[in-house]
Structure 1
Amino acid sequence: MNKFFHPSFFVVFLFCSLAFRSNSQTISLKSDNKELEETFHWAVQKANTWKMTGKTGELNRHERGEGLGYKANVPYLPSYWAGYAHRSAYYIRDFAHQIDGAHLLGMDEENFAMMEKFAEYTTKDKKWYSWWALNFDGSVFTLDAPNPPGTETYQGYPANFINKPGESFVREIPAMFELVEKAWKSYLWTGDRRYIENEKLWNMYEKVVTEFVALHDSDGNGIPEGQGNIFEGSATYNEADIHPVEAGDAIGAQYQAYLAYASFLSEKNLTLEAKEQLKKAATLKNYFNTNWSVIDGTDLYSCAITSSQEKYPFFNKETSWFIPMKFITEPGDRNDKYLAFISEQLGDGVGTANSKKGSPANIEAYTYLPDTYFPYGKTDEAWKWMKYIIDQKDLPHVVTQQGKNGDYPEVPFTLVSQVVEGLMGIEPDAANHTISTIPRLPQEIGFLELTDLKIGEHTITVHQASKKTEITNSSGDAPLICKIRFYGNHEAISVNNQKTKASRALLNGEIYSFITVKLKAGEKVIASI
């Protein structure tokens, strides 16, 4: 019997508690924009319903009913839902995009456990791909994986199961690189040394940036190639359209993986090896900007190489917007034109009066757009897409079984992270007890106040207006280093009512001014321009 279920139904029968515990964070937001304040509260509550830690439930449940290897009443490991609400699993791609929001919600143990499982399954027999999706007990979600012998009585993959070469299973190149990138990001938020010392994770980092690239780079240009659709090996996250051989989103993610691995090496004091990775990243970026993406007669980036070996200067959703989002581009006119091109192709989104051919049908695609525009100081465009997602969250998802748009886990998780990292411009460096901020508030938002923000051992409150930032180091044994930034070229910044000479630098091509202050536990700084 096929059993489709709404997410709220699924949560109902996951009652049994186990020994695992993960403290949900009490992060909260106040704002003069009450719709945003209420949406943030909704997102925090909603995302926490997707935490599976300590529960029991089904394995291999999906839209077709009880799948291959189905089991019930299975104890779950630390984990959270990342993917369709009608599939009892977490997916690499969704996990990578939800990981920041998960930290902000206190799910650090879940983040580590899920990352470790994907690392464990990153194996030579799959040419250093991991499995695309996992059940909440850490086993393989069989809908997206190959079918082994004995399917009639099959109860689950054996521990020693080895994938046969050429077998059909879902895999997408950008995902492997994003795992490396997001492991580093988790380390920045937490300072958790397990991200450096865990052997499974380190093996994944190393193999992805070396052997994974080499095994999938048949033409020797340093960029891994896809083999076709998702069950053959996709070069891109855009699963539906051109099935390119090489794709801009994969190259951007590859660039970030090199930078992340270099940073991990530096944390181990492997200076020469770190420099080599930085050199690889710089070489890849230069090749992308001066050769791979260049087409005669246009300043637009080619976002892909097609199966007929032609460059593709057209819009291709993720294949396009990941290019600036991953900073593989150089800031400047060409990048600005491409950001404007993406905006033009999207219109105002599907379901609006200005829906365009390029407007994605699925809400989760739009969750990347604030991440694309905020880092370049394109506040109005980024905020436009946050508002679009908020407006669409109570409407039906394009996939009926999914329920509402807001029931897609990626929506609440990313709304939380985009308030913190996007609107407030917060960047962590837990190991060095550092927080950086830069306000990116549109005219519709007068102030934001975030409480119980965790960066490593510190609990922090940040209050922001467009020209003012207040930071309180509520707790933490070491002093908190606060790098308070404001866009623009300012000679001085007022610090606790004292005019202080400002330093200046560039952030993705935009000039900003900043001061640095150390706060002991209980201390507060007020900075303004």
Structure 2
Amino acid sequence: MSIYDPQLGRVTIDSSNQQLIAGFDWAKSQALAYVSNGTPVGKFYEAALPGRDAFCMRDLSHQSVGANVLGLQDYTKNMLFKFAEGITDSRDWCTYWEIDKYDRPAPVDYTDDSDFWYNLPANFDMLDCCYKQYLWTGDRDYVDHPVFRNFYERTVTDYIDRWDKDKDGFPEHYAPYGRRGIASYVEDGLHPLLGGDVLAAQYAAFGSYSRFLAISGKAALAELYKNKAKEVRKLYNRDWWNEENGRFNGALMQDRRGYPGYYYSATYLPFYFDLVEPGNRKKRALRDVVHHGGSNVEEKSHMAEIFYKHGLNQEAYSSLLEMMDPQLKRREYPEVSYSVIGAILTGTMGLSADAHRQSLVTMSRLTDSIDWIEAKDIPVMSGHIDIAHANGRESTLANGTGRTLQWEARFSGSHQKLYVNGTVMPASIGSDGNGEFVSTAVIELNPGDRATVKL
């Protein structure tokens, strides 16, 4: 199941590291093989078990990062829109967990509105995904379209209220629920009341909804949800820490005791969603995630992005190599190839976009085994950019978006000055959130401009 569209997959990379090139080329080819159009559901890419011709909320929310790099923004938007349309009172403000190419809830996960598979982090995860799509694309439908706006509002109000039986502010699971309302993305028989990944995704959703509200001019409501996010973060960091095990509890059990074991996505997704506050606890807990990792390729596919985000570049690159290894079992699972592409561009190359501010950020996270890397034709904000990094000391960006951009070129360490196209510029010195210094030059790039920043 694949289509030919010359506008998809234009992005290329070149590098001193041949493993990286081979891994990226494989991931691009594999990911594009899952792209489809012309079926009743419209534009989509597989984001579920291969062969189902379907996409689920969790996989889509994660794969959308790599999909952006491949130029699949319209496909992602269609898929997210289908889920947003599905939110309804009769399903307790859930939508469908998985939709297939026939534009129906996947029969393997859905019998009727009283009996269907659903993991409770999903609504929150998708809301946060929609905000990230807006930042990358600048598509105002994510801000203004009534279907998306209804999904966001229902998620942060009715969805929580319906599933929050004890009225502590979080949706919980009870054993009689079975598959309808699982307390985590972990799908085992533990039946916790509340997984750490629910808190993490809810924290991210509150923050993203707050920013959507601010963009829409609703300052007072935006501040309310910003504070709600802060309270979730405060509670988690205060009450969920387990000193004996050097990690945050993975879940809250039915008797309200913390589950001290490593609980995979319920333990590592708080880092993915930036729920964990900086400090020694964070460092210890991250090392615990490095030690335990993921139990399957779905979970392992998050590791590189998490480690890059939190400054563990060598561990991140090692995780990336594992995902690209031809010997990896179930490497064909769609999330693997999409996550490889996303991790290389947003992790190794440190690219992030903010279409609302018309800005891009880059930060080289090259390890000793990569002297240089270059990516061309990266689709962002309705145009394309090229990025190159060399030895962690030089970065180049070419603006092909057709609009003026603010480029924040970041470098590890404390440096008083940087050189922009050979001209010295005072650097702005700050923190990366992981206790390390970062030096930044901000350059305005008009359409067609190209700039190089060096230490």
Place the TM-score, normalised by the shorter chain, in its bin.
Answer: over 0.9
User: Residues 259-408 of structure 1 correspond to what in structure 2 (within 5 A)?
Assistant: 259-291=207-239, 293-295=240-242, 297=244, 299-346=246-293, 360=295, 362-391=296-325, 393-395=326-328, 397=329, 405-408=330-333
Check whether the contact 2:385–2:401 (CA below 8 A) recurs between aligned residues: no
Structure 1 position 218 matched with structure 2 position 165: yes
Q: Counterparts of 1:387-466 in structure 2 under 5 Å?
A: 387-391=321-325, 393-395=326-328, 397=329, 405-465=330-390, 466=392
Contact kept, 8 Å, 1:429 with 1:455, in 2: the verdict is: no
CA distance in 2, matches of 1:335, 1:296: 12
How far, CA to CA, are the matches of 2:16 and 2:359 in structure 1? 28
The aligned residue for residue 185 of structure 1 is 132
TM-score of the aligned structures, taking structure 1 as reference length: 0.82
Unaligned runs of 5+ in 2: none
Q: 1:497 aligns with which of 422, 430, 439?
A: 422
Contact 2:214–2:222, Cα closer than 8 Å, also in 1? yes
2:311, 2:448 → 1: CA distance?
32
**How many percent identity over aligned positions?**
26
Q: Which amino acid aligns with 1:386?
A: L
Residue in structure 2 matched with residue 478 of structure 1 by the alignment: 403
Pairwise CA distance, 1:507: 2.2
- Offset at 1:295? 4.1
Q: CA deviation at 1:345?
A: 2.5
Letter in 1 for 2:440: F
Q: Which amino acid aligns with 1:524?
A: R
Which residue is 1:203 aligned to? 150
Instruction: Say whether the 8 Å CA contact 2:380–2:401 is kept in structure 1.
Output: no
The 2-side partners of 1:492 and 1:97 are apart by 37
Aligned residues: 452
Confirm whether residue 141 of structure 1 aligns to residue 106 of structure 2: yes
Q: What is the rounded CA distance, in whole Å, between the counterparts of 1:194 and 1:344 in structure 2?
A: 41
Which portions of structure 1, spanning 4 or more consecutive aligned residues, are displaced by more than 6 angstroms?
Answer: none
More RCO (CA 8 Å, sep 6+):
2
Alpha-carbon contact 1:82-1:90 (below 8 Å) kept: yes
Q: Which amino acid aligns with 1:260?
A: S
Shift of 1:230: 5.9
Match of 1:154? none
Per the TM alignment, residue 458 of structure 1 is displaced from its structure 2 partner at its CA by 3.4
- 1:353 corresponding residue in structure 2: none
Partners of 1:526 and 1:327 in 2: how far apart? 31
Q: Quick one: distance in 1 between partners of 2:166 and 2:178?
A: 21
Aligned mates of 1:367, 1:230 — CA distance in 2: 27
- Are the counterparts in 2 of residues 90 and 134 from structure 1 also a CA contact under 8 Å? yes
**1:349 alignment counterpart:** none
1:84 match: secondary structure: coil
Verify the 8 A CA contact 1:431 1:456 in the aligned structure 2. no
Q: Give the C-alpha shift of residue 25 in structure 1.
A: 3.7
Stretches of structure 1 lacking an aligned partner (at least 5 in a row): 1-10, 57-74, 148-162, 347-358, 398-404
SS of the residue corresponding to residue 432 of structure 1 reads: coil
Q: What secondary structure does 1:463 align onto?
A: strand
* CA distance 1:210–1:29, change in 2 (3 Å): same
Q: Compute the displacement of 1:88 (Å).
A: 2.2
Match of 1:515 in 2: 441
- Match of 2:68? 103
SS in 2 for 1:494: strand
1:30 aligned partner: 14
Note the aligned Cα RMSD (angstroms).
Answer: 1.8
1:198 deviates by 1.3
Q: Deviation string for 1:19-45 (max 9, x for gaps)?
A: xx8931401100011111121112112
More displaced stretch, 501-510 vs 379-388: 501-510
Q: Match for 2:186: what amino acid?
A: N
Deviations 1:304-327 (A, max 9, x none): 111232111210111111122211
Q: Deviations over 1:458-516 (max 9, x none)?
A: 3211001211101111x233212100001211111111122211112222233211010
What residue identity is the alignment partner of 2:188? A
Mapped partners of 1:445, 1:297: distance in 2? 38
Distance 1:375 1:503 in 2: 20
Q: Matched residue of 1:451: which SS?
A: strand
| TM-score, with structure 2 as normaliser | 0.95
Q: Is the 8 A contact 1:27 1:452 kept in 2?
A: yes
Q: Counterparts of 1:431 and 1:287 in 2: how far apart (Å)?
A: 30
